[in-house]
Amino acid sequence: MEIVFGDQTFWTYFFVVLTFSAYIGIAIWSRAGSTEEFYVAGHNVPPTINGMATAADWMSAASFLSMAGLIAFLGYGGSVYLMGWTGGYVLLALLLAPFLREFGKFTVPDFVGDRYYSKVARVIAVICALFVSFTYIAGQMKGVGVAFSGFLGVPFNVGILIGMGIVFFYAVLGGMKGITYTQVAQYVVLIFAYTVPAIFISLTITGNPIPQLGFIGNAAGTDISMLEKLNTVVTDLGFREYTSTDKSMMDIFCITAALMFGTAGLPHVIIRFFTVESARAARKSAGWALLFIAALYTVAPAVGAFARFNFIDTVNEATYIADGEDYDARAAEIIAEGGKPVPEWYKDWEATGLLKYDDLNGDGVMQYRGPNTPDGIANEVDPNRDIFVLANPQIAQLPAWVIGLVVAGGLAAALSTAAGLLMVISSAVSHDLLKRTFTPGMSEKQEMLAARLAAAAAVVAAGLLGIFATSLPFVAQVVAFAFGLAAASLFPVIFLGIFWKRMNKEGAISAMLTGLITTFSYIYYFKFVNENSDLWLFGISPEGIGFVFMWVAVVVGVVVSLMTPAPPQDVQDLVEDIRIPGTRRPHGTVDASMAPVSPHARDS
């Protein structure tokens, strides 16, 4: 592959190499020297820095790459991801984060094990965290593969291996300390990469440099709103109105709720609030994180609408140019004949297998149609929705440096979240399974070695999952499954563990198993065994079923708790204590990182 100074390939390599070098350099500078630094960055990350790192951890490949693509093609129906993920973070920040930080542990399974005074509960929480994390990380690795295969000319699987090599370096070396400061750099890259092309495209389509205002304003040179014009375009081609949806209100509600409550149960997000020095700092970092997240989430609807508009404008009714033909010469002929050649960006993405064209009527003209087309023409174009944030600058013919910047941003989004997930997996194995359960006598040096080995093994497993992810649905939908699993398995025991002191270990174990088994079984059956939506329970899709089974898990946990002995009194006192951050504890400690551990925590 020839690289010419100043062209798209040059700028892509330039930004990718520059940012990857920065991530490695930061990892070396901030490498962990103790288990506390490896797991929770020493409990001393400033709230502003933690807020930025949390935003990067939160805005995964699903947010950066896939959410706008889903909104582009689902319209109003795709907004469930935007509403659910935004509302879920508010729920987490206000309802759980300060109290979990006050408890002063390293991980979610650590909280479950001590709060429910049970090694069995701890192990089941580890299993739940691993299920959620590996499901989530599959979506991130698919995003890495899409970015590399689309722009660096390498196969999908090779792109995943490159990305995992970078994560391996800074996750294994730096632990949470290295990941935190790397994620700050990744946030700067991804937010700049997301907003710059959105500004350019908003100016082109609406004449307004602010994408959020362009989205609700008029199309350039007209007195017709951009959304009204888009509605007309898509309905003329046989699609439903952009501002409508074919999802039932029940399904919309359940998907949104599953994403919200799943957010509040995500181990890799919760663990970020353990890196600050106090519950007060956790609240501050949550506020900063919401501000940083809003910078991307308020732009996403505009990016989705612009992508759909530009895609239709450049692809529909374009004359196809076959592989092997001289593109420039054939395109000139088509233009001379009064036609529109297939855009060059389409040919680039078609080579990745993520865009497909089937000339059903043999006329060589690409017909992009919906199921309700009035002219009876069958649809011949099949786009993968995960590509549109990356392809948007090409579609809009933006400068080559913008395209390269977007690729670096997409990789930053995927890798930042992947790193956070790897820390959850590493700490679950080394700290919760080994140190706190099976080999409590291991030294700190041995625990550090185990943590790094676990992180390395998790990197390899994540790479294999990413390769498998080529057969999975869109990135955002894969991630939605992880949120459903978190909502049904971890959220009930965290919430009840904080706000109901009567919840005991038997109830927690029953709730986690109920939520995990039912949700995973439902998702697996309807995604991989029988995809008939007519059989969905109450018409609820696999993306939303976690909300239903969350309530089943809550009921099971409450009923079992009431039928079995109450928790020991010191555990009940501890539950009351953590709900009043900063108060003096029974053991005389004030420091939140030294919350008292019940002597019953080492029970069965």
Q: What is the per-residue pLDDT across 467-503, written as a single tens digit (0 to 9) for each?
A: 765 555 445 556 778 888 889 999 999 999 999 999 9
Q: Within this chain, do residues 270 and 374 fall inside the same structural domain, yes or no?
A: no
Indicate if the pLDDT at residue 70 is higher than 90: no
Q: Is residue 2 part of a domain?
A: no
* Nearest-angstrom CA–CA distance, 557 and 493: 8
Q: Where a domain ends, among 391, 410, 433?
A: 391
How many helices and strands, by DSSP H and E, does the chain display?
Answer: 26, 2
Q: What is the pLDDT of residues 104-154, one digit of tens each?
A: 666 788 889 889 999 999 999 998 888 888 777 776 777 777 767 666 667
Mean per-residue pLDDT for 51-72? 80
**Residues forming beta bridges with residue 218, ordered by sequence position:** 225
CATH, residue 194: 1.20.1730.10
Residue by residue, what is the 3-state secondary structure of 402-453? HHHHHHHHHHHHHHHHHHHHHHHHHHHHHHHHHHHHHCCCCCHHHHHHHHHH
Q: Give me the percent of the chain exceeding a pLDDT of 90.
A: 25
Q: Where a domain ends, among 343, 370, 391?
A: 391
Q: How many angstroms from the chain centroid is the CA of residue 198?
A: 20
Q: Is residue 8 part of a domain?
A: no
The confidence score (pLDDT) of residue 591 equals 37
Which string of DSSP letters, residue by residue, matches 249-268? Answer: HHHHHHHHHHHHHHHTT-HH
Q: Is residue 6 part of a domain?
A: no
Q: What is the pLDDT of residues 440-460, one digit of tens each?
A: 888 888 888 888 888 788 878
Mean pLDDT (the chain) is 82
Indicate if the pLDDT at residue 581 is higher than 70: no
Range of the domain at 525: 15-307+399-602
Range from 86-100, 253-267, 542-556 that averages highest in pLDDT? 542-556
Q: Within this chain, do residues 355 and 503 fall inside the same structural domain, yes or no?
A: no
Burial (CB < 10 A; 0-12, 13-18, 19+), residue 26, is: buried
Q: Within this chain, do residues 408 and 279 fall inside the same structural domain, yes or no?
A: yes
* Nearest-angstrom CA–CA distance, 159 and 520: 29
Q: Within this chain, do residues 239 and 163 fall inside the same structural domain, yes or no?
A: yes
The confidence score (pLDDT) of residue 593 equals 37
- The CB-side HSE value for 121 (13 A sphere, CA atoms) comes to 29
* Nearest-angstrom CA–CA distance, 353 and 181: 36
Q: Within this chain, do residues 155 and 284 fall inside the same structural domain, yes or no?
A: yes
Q: Within this chain, do residues 220 and 87 fall inside the same structural domain, yes or no?
A: yes
Q: Within this chain, do residues 247 and 356 fall inside the same structural domain, yes or no?
A: no
Q: Within this chain, do residues 88 and 229 fall inside the same structural domain, yes or no?
A: yes
Confidence at 254, pLDDT banded by 50, 70, 90 = very high
Indicate if the pLDDT at residue 389 is higher than 70: yes
Question: What total number of domains does the chain contain?
Answer: 2
Who contacts 325 (Cβ-Cβ below 8 Å, separation ≥6)?
none
Q: Within this chain, do residues 134 and 270 fall inside the same structural domain, yes or no?
A: yes
Q: Is residue 9 part of a domain?
A: no
Q: Is residue 3 part of a domain?
A: no
